[in-house]
Structures are given as structure tokens and as C-alpha cells.
Structure 1
Amino acid sequence: MIDLNEKQILAYFKEKLISSPHQEKLPLPSVKIFPETGSTNTDMKESLKKEGEAPEGTVYLTDCQSGGRGRQGHSFYSPKGMGIYFSILTRPKESSGDALTITTHAAVAVVRAVKELYDISLSIKWVNDLFLNGKKVCGILAEGKFCPALEYCIMGIGINLFTPEGGYPAEISEIAGSLFGEYQEERFFDFDRNRLMATILYHYFCICDEKEVLPEYRENNLVLGRRVLFSENGIEKEGVVTAITKHGELFLSLDSGASQILLSGEVKFVS
């Protein structure tokens, strides 16, 4: 597998810009690569606290996380050489000024990039997980600073490219998957994660400049029309997802006959 390289990522990104209608509007990514770290989201938050400012398009990328984090306090397993784990600093425009909307942008960007490069179609499970063949292959965690509006968003993305030797830890073995299965050196010796990174960043910044991506988010979403279970204030509820609103929230028809909009949290499918 080809090593991660900042200059190569930027070169691929500029290559994408040549024929892009967005080329005058997109920030050039400033990528910093860590061989290993605890969490790229945590690193970026701490850096912003210390230094105060960083340009939009700053990216922290690593080959391995010892403390990768997901939503709802979950961890994100990030073994060395088996994926890409990164955080993007975004300063939202007024039209996309909330973390939920920007999370939908990130999901669609990864879906677009994976389809473009590998002809693999991923599905989105609201709000921030990407699935392939019933297994989670990508997680997204958005964290931001509000003053009182959203000043910036740190978009953390982890993608499982390969299944580690021996498989995933027991606690996630039933749900975790990868894009390409078990890593085989002779098959993937020239696999270039730099091109994947550049393509995701390109689509992410393009989407942030686009007016409407929710139709694409809805089209690829697994939850529409499904019965789901969710928790609110410690109380479990069930309902059918009837729509995804223009802001990315879930609109549910509850068993009680009432309707509810779900802004955040986690939903589980009911068989």
C-alpha cells in the first residue's frame, strides 16, 4: 500500500480542480499527517484552543488512532494501515450553518468518492454511518464551536478499507465491515489512499458550495420507510420514518398516532 503523503493528496486535489465548475470557490486543503494519534478530532480541537485560528480546509489525517471516537460516546476502532481516519475544519456558510446539515454533506461526499473511484455503492444510515452489505464501513462525528451560531465544525471521518487480520474485536464483529475485505499485500500493494483522500475532500468542499444535496442523501438512505427504535429522555419509542426534512432531521410517525421530528441520537432498525 502506498504511504499517505500530503503533497500527493494536494496534487490529486488540484488535478480534480482543473475541470471543476467550483474551482474558484474551493479552499485548498492543508493536510497534516500523523503516523499515529489518539484522535484527530481531539487533536484539532486542542490545536484550535491553543492557536486560536486555522484556515478552512485544514485536515488532520492519521494511519492509526488509539482513541478514535464516535457519536453517543462510542469508540471507533482504527487499526494501523487498515483505513483512513481524518478530521476536516469547516467554517459553514449561512445556508449550511448547523452540524447536522454538514454531517449529511460529509456522508454524501464519501458516497460520491467511493462510487467514483471503485464503483461501490454505499448506503447511509441516519445520521452518520455508511454501510456496505449490511456492515458499517464508515463513521462520521461532527463537533463544533457555537458563539452562539456555529463558528466552525470539525468533521471527523473514519473509513474501514480493509478487514484486519483475525477480524474485528468481538464487541463490533457483528456490525463492522470494510470496503475491500481482508488486506492482501500482493493484491493491494499499489493501493493509493492519497487519491481517495483527495477525492473525498474535493466532493466535500464542492457539496459545501452546492445549494441542495439532501435529495442525494435521501436517495442513499436506509431509514426511509423503516420501523425504528429510538430513545428520548430515557424512554424508548418506536415509529416509522416517513421523511427526512430539509435540515436532515427524521420525521417519524409514532405508534401512538403522533408525529415527531428527531434532531439527533441513534436509531435502531426493528425487524
Structure 2
Amino acid sequence: MPAAKQTILRLLEQSRGVSLSGEQIAQELNISRAAVWKAVNQLKKEGYRIEAVQNRGYRLDPDSDLLSAEGIRSRLPFNLPLFLEQSLPSTNQAAKKLAIEGAAHGTTVLASGQTEGRGRLGRTFFSPVGAGLYMSVLLRPEIGSADAVLVTIAAAVAVCLAVEETTGIQLGIKWVNDLLLGKKKAGGILTEGITAFESGAVEAVVVGVGLNLTDAPFPSELDGIACSLFGSGRPCVTRNELAAAILRHLFFFAEDFPARLYLDEYRRRSTALGRQIEICGQGVPPRTARAVSVADDGGLTVRYPDGREETLRWGEISIRPLA
């Protein structure tokens, strides 16, 4: 995006819903009013809902919800490399490719939709264009492979805090990465690591965030399982605002993952602690246990009916209905 058009979009995002005069913009950018008019028309052709009112200037529709780098950057106290697409097979795949090519810590990939969105354990993540927020963040943290789960935990908390901050909606977390609204899944985290072959050290981590914002025709297999934050209603937050809030919280935690500043909040939002659960996977039949605590390394400590305790560090759980 040319510099003038980029700056005009940033100004309009910062003043969303308020008119800025063409003369004011022209003076700030040291360009002609004709150049401002041309740039605004180009932005409108790209889908930005900008109103031009005589004697008042230009105004970005407050209900406009087009993902844009400037819309996100204008809400961040730091600068990040941002890559946006209307549709991608998978934002995680794109971010991993950038990581292998040497992209910097903080590089973020966003898309309005995914055609091959992925979840844990090889599952797909339903991510139609315009119905959610789909983003992946490349991190280069100084952590060992044993601590990689902490990145998932921190990301889950970052999303929950961002959603509550911008919408007032409180989400729960089902160990280890599902984001729940009530009893249904409204989103999830997919964390994938890139390790050095010789040392086994973690070179990079890609954190994928998928969040359902509005209802879409969910596949039949998701009936009764998935939901969205706003249902069929109008979101009270734009995707740019929400993405920026997630990045702010995530990078606060990323400054020092081992400090575990997110762990108490993760425990507080846990939907499993104190509940009867069923443990799946790990190549054994399902087992029933009670979730006791979240360990400092992110593992889930469970107690079996015979009193024996175990800390799970991978696998999957389902929460049994209350009696």
C-alpha cells in the first residue's frame, strides 16, 4: 500500500466514526487535497467504507470491519511485521513458511478466512471468510521444548483477556487449548514448534488463534459443540481492535514466558478443575478421573478413583456432565 494511502487509513482508523477534513489530512501529510481524494477513492475501491461529507471531510464507518495492517498497528504500542490476506489455506502454514525463511519475532499472519484451517490432533478448524478472526504469530522465545506448552497457555489467556477487555464476554479454557463460551467451543489455540535438528532447541513457535465471531452454517459434526461470540448479532468490536488487543496481551507475556504471569489466570478460567473428566488418547482406553490442579509446567494433575495422581502433559480430556 503506498505510503500516503497507508497513512490516511491510519488516521481514519484512529478517528473511526469522526470526520477528518481533506485539508487537515493534506496538511499533515504535506500532499495536495487532490492526492487525498485519490487515495481515499482507492481505499473505497478496496472495500473500506469511507464516507465523504461536504464541508466535513472523510469518515471511516464505525461499523466497517475490514482487516487492515493500519487498523491493527494504530492500536499497538509497538510495530510488528503484519501480513494480511482475504483467504489462506492456513495462517499457521503461512507463518511457519515465513519462520523457515528467517522472518522476525512477532511476524503475524491474518486472514479473513481459511480453506484448510487446522486444530489439534489433525482436526480441521471451520473458518469461513468473514465469520471469525484467524491469525498466527511467529515467536522466537528462549525456552526449552519442555516449556513449549506454556506458550499455548499464555496465548489462551491472552485471547480471553482481549475478548473480555473489548467485549465484556468472559471465556473459559478447557485444558489445554479450547476457548469456551458456556459449554460450547468458541475458539482455540494451535501452537506448533520449529526445532533445530542437531540441538533439539526450540528455534521458533507459531501460535495460531481461531475465534468464531458470528454464526456461520457450521458443519453437522459441530452441532451442539461450536458457537460464536456474537451469534447472529452484530459484533461490538472490529477484528482489527480484537487482533490488536490479543497481540498486546500476548507480547506482554512473551517478554518472559518462564515467569508464568498468565498461570493463575489460566487456572481461574479452567473449566475442568474440580470436575470429573474423561481422559482420551495416549493409546489407551478412556479413563475417568477428577481434575485437581494445573501444574507449574502447564500439565493437568488428575486423581483417579483409586487415589493415584498423575500429571498429564499431552492428550485430550472431555468434561463429564454434572450429576
TM range (shorter): 0.7 to 0.9
Percent identity between matched residues is 37
Q: Secondary structure of the equivalent of 1:115?
A: helix
2:144 & 2:269 partners in 1: Cα distance?
22
Q: Secondary structure of the equivalent of 1:261?
A: strand
Question: Over residues 28-82 of structure 1, what are the superposed CA-to-partner deviations in whole Å (9 max), with x where a residue is unaligned?
Answer: 3211001101111112223333x2x111100010001011000011110001100
Q: CA deviation at 1:133?
A: 2.0
User: 2:69 maps to what in 1?
Assistant: 6
Q: CA deviation at 1:98?
A: 2.5
User: 1:37 maps to what in 2?
Assistant: 88
Question: Over residues 59-111 of structure 1, what are the superposed CA-to-partner deviations in whole Å (9 max), with x where a residue is unaligned?
Answer: 01000101100001111000110011110001113489732100010011011
After TM superposition, the score normalised by the length of structure 2 is 0.74
Equivalent pair of 1:96/1:102 in contact (CA under 8 Å):
no
1:173 & 1:46 partners in 2: Cα distance?
33
Mapping for residues 42-57 of structure 1, pairs under 5 Å:
42-49=93-100, 51=101, 53-57=102-106
Root mean square deviation, CA, Å: 1.8
Are positions 1:151 and 2:200 aligned together? Answer: no
Supply the AA of the counterpart residue of 1:3: L
Q: Which runs of 4+ in 1 moved over 6 A?
A: none
Question: Over residues 94-152 of structure 1, what are the superposed CA-to-partner deviations in whole Å (9 max), with x where a residue is unaligned?
Answer: 48973210001001101111111111111111100111121111111000012312221
Question: Over residues 180-234 of structure 1, what are the superposed CA-to-partner deviations in whole Å (9 max), with x where a residue is unaligned?
Answer: 1115xxx45x852111111100000001225222111100110101111113323
User: 1:197 maps to what in 2?
Assistant: 243
Are positions 1:176 and 2:226 aligned together? Answer: yes
After TM superposition, the score normalised by the length of structure 1 is 0.88
Supply the AA of the counterpart residue of 2:189: I
User: 2:137 maps to what in 1?
Assistant: 88
Supply the AA of the counterpart residue of 1:251: T
Equivalent pair of 2:167/2:237 in contact (CA under 8 Å):
no
1:177 & 1:142 partners in 2: Cα distance?
22
User: 1:118 maps to what in 2?
Assistant: 167
2:161 & 2:285 partners in 1: Cα distance?
36
2:130 & 2:237 partners in 1: Cα distance?
11
Equivalent pair of 2:302/2:310 in contact (CA under 8 Å):
yes
User: 1:21 maps to what in 2?
Assistant: none
Equivalent pair of 2:99/2:204 in contact (CA under 8 Å):
no
2:237 & 2:319 partners in 1: Cα distance?
35
Mapping for residues 155-166 of structure 1, pairs under 5 Å:
155-164=207-216
User: 1:222 maps to what in 2?
Assistant: 271
1:220 & 1:96 partners in 2: Cα distance?
25
Are positions 1:106 and 2:155 aligned together? Answer: yes
**Unpaired runs of 5+ in structure 2?**
1-63
User: 2:40 maps to what in 1?
Assistant: none
Supply the AA of the counterpart residue of 2:239: R
1:143 & 1:48 partners in 2: Cα distance?
11
Equivalent pair of 1:61/1:87 in contact (CA under 8 Å):
yes
User: 2:289 maps to what in 1?
Assistant: 239
Q: 1:76 to 1:264 in 2, by over 3 A?
A: same
User: 1:259 maps to what in 2?
Assistant: 309
Q: Secondary structure of the equivalent of 1:93?
A: coil
Give the number of the structure whose alpha-carbon radius of gyration is greater. 2
Q: Secondary structure of the equivalent of 2:160?
A: helix
Q: 1:178 to 1:117 in 2, by over 3 A?
A: same
